[in-house]
């Protein structure tokens, strides 16, 4: 089984591909895709959706695990991220993936057992749960790995 984990964004998009084979999970790809801040939002959204399509075409996942929005104080940013999420979900469904959405609370609970854990706790335990053979620069990539691992935690019978 192959899972695509996404931490949605249009400035930086966290992406992770996790494979579960013989009851072992492995990160086979992770990346932070960045768009140019000088580009208009619609172009950036197009680039993100196109990138997700390329990742799906290359790795052929069966499932998309994507973080639900946590609304912060910047309503414009939240609206734009919601639009990007919609574009990503559309691409995933268009290519036949089942879509699963998780809140930050559900992700933290799946990784640490406690929904109010801080980022350091999540990161520490995530590194214990799954083998990652690379240096990761941005939290967006870690978040994408976490949301993919969350899918595995909540869907053990698949």
Which residues neighbour 152 within 8 Å (Cβ) at sequence distance 6 or greater?
3, 18, 20, 25
Using DSSP's 3-state secondary structure scheme, residue 13 falls into strand
d(C-alpha 99, C-alpha 110), whole Å: 17
Q: How many residues does the chain have?
A: 158
d(C-alpha 83, C-alpha 105), whole Å: 22
- Nearest by Cα to 37 from 69, 10, 71: 10
H or E element at residue 6: strand 2-7
d(C-alpha 134, C-alpha 115), whole Å: 27
List, by residue number, the catalytic residues.
7, 67, 140
């Amino acid at each position: 089984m192959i899972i695509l984990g996404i931490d949605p964004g249009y400035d930086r998009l966290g992406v992770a591909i996790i494979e579960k084979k013989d009851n072992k999970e492995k990160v086979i790809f992770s990346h932070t895709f960045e768009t140019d801040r000088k580009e208009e939002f619609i172009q950036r959204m197009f680039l993100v959706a196109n990138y997700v399509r390329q990742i799906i075409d290359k790795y052929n996942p069966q499932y998309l695990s994507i973080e639900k929005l946590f609304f912060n104080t910047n309503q414009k940013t939240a609206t734009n991220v919601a639009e990007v999420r919609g574009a990503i979900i559309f691409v995933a469904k268009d290519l036949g993936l089942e879509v699963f959405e998780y809140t930050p609370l559900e992700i933290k609970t799946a990784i640490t057992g406690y929904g109010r854990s801080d980022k350091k706790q999540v990161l520490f335990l995530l590194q214990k749960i799954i083998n990652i053979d690379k240096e990761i620069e941005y939290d967006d990539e870690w978040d994408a790995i976490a949301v993919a691992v969350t899918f595995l935690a909540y869907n053990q019978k698949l």
